A = this chain, B = another copy of it.
């Protein structure tokens, strides 16, 4: 007799998985290896930025009150008493009608309260002394970048859990982080199962196909910010599979198998969960593709049984594995980023299931448009390559039409969402 499984809601599946979420620990890496890692501590300013009042331009530091009477018909002359290159400081004090030549980025000398740009002065010599002539009035503080205006000492600039992008890296350098605290990447074990699977370098033989799911999932793991550990493809034989799953659970932070989770005679994963004494959180979800996505927990570690169908496997990963990885990395937005878009094609046929359709987002004016890419059968690999989002079509007794407003989940995005996409009660067919 075939086992009849009871599908649960996406919402409930996510909740059951997230009960087992945990946070990773900090490790320190060189600033040269920190790109795309997730910050393990807040970045606080240990000094003001800028660290001193400085000039944003090449020009002359002067006292603004000396320019009070300057205008086009009344140029005022200032004696040049010193010159400050960037990185240098002047020990001279600016007195009345004195000027110090100053370079971009250099510290404003004592006594000065403004800078006039190089382009706005005329340099002259009188009695072998150098002067500038100024024809406009300056305000106190004009052309000065004030100490601390970018960041005040002690201020938290970036919170932990943020992915390190070029701007974050610049901040790390500014505050002297030659070693950067990042969250250790979780290690995700990957075991592809199925007697039909060939290795990538094996020639095709009748009835067999090459393992592509394993490579796809590994790439998804990397994109999520984790690392993978690959185990040998497994034929549908229970003892060897059990032994590899045990080994992976010992060696990894979480484990993914692909294939073998359905109800057929060769679907061994249900038996593996039993033999492991793992608690199966769910083994059927009211969604397409990916309804057979199974998650179990074995001694606190998550063991994912993703479908052997490429698209089901792909969607199962993005909805249920990615948030666990991103939460581990302290992301405050572990779920796929959500948006809405106007559907560009008709889906006239009613479908009772919540569908995740591999799609492409385009922008027209300030509007988001979405259309499916290629076929949307769960075994079609090519469309995964072209998709940059998943369009969500909730189960419904009617179809969908062009210009309907639909939810989309962005899969290339690095920002994420605080909350997952979940179905509205009435749209769920269990």
Q: Which residues of A are interface residues toward B (Cβ below 8 A)?
A: 2, 4, 31-32, 35, 47, 49-52, 56, 58, 83-89, 101, 103-107, 118-119, 145, 149-151, 157-158, 162, 164-178, 194-197, 200-204, 206-220, 222-223, 235-236, 262-267, 308-310, 314, 338-342, 363, 365-369, 375, 377-388, 405, 412-415
Contacts and interface: CB of A to CB of B under 8 A. Distances in A.
B196 A106 contact: yes
A219 B368 contact: no
Nearest to A1: B123
Given A31-B215, A207-B88, A415-B388, A366 B363 contact: no
A157 B375 CA distance: 13
29 contacts: A2-B118, A4-B119, A31-B200, A49-B382, A50-B209, A51-B204, A58-B264, A58-B267, A85-B196, A85-B265, A88-B195, A104-B262, A105-B209, A106-B196, A107-B206, A149-B375, A151-B382, A165-B219, A166-B314, A167-B382, A167-B383, A174-B210, A174-B212, A174-B381, A339-B363, A366-B368, A367-B368, A388-B415, A412-B413
Contacts of A368: 363, 366-368
Contacts of A387: 167
Given A58-B264, A107-B207, A174-B212, A167 B379 contact: no
Contacts of A220: 166
B150 A195 contact: no
Contact of A173 (B206, B212, B267): B212
Nearest to A117: B2
Contact of A87 (B35, B157, B170, B194): B194
B341 A170 contact: no
A200 to B, nearest CB: 5
Given A51-B204, A236-B85, A262-B104, A209 B339 contact: no
Contacts of A342: 366
A265 B103 contact: yes
A169 B216 CA distance: 6
Contact of A412 (B165, B213, B366): B165
Contacts of A203: 176
A264 B58 CA distance: 6
Identical copies of this chain, number: 2
Contact of A58 (B35, B51, B262): B262
Given A145-B379, A150-B382, 10 more contacts: A56-B309, A56-B377, A85-B265, A87-B195, A104-B264, A166-B223, A170-B215, A178-B200, A367-B367, A412-B414
A382 B48 CA distance: 12
Looking at A104, A118, A162, the one whose CB has the most chain B CB atoms below 10 A away is A104
A178 B214 CA distance: 13
Contacts of A158: 382, 385
B314 A339 contact: no
Nearest to A406: B366
A83 B47 CA distance: 73
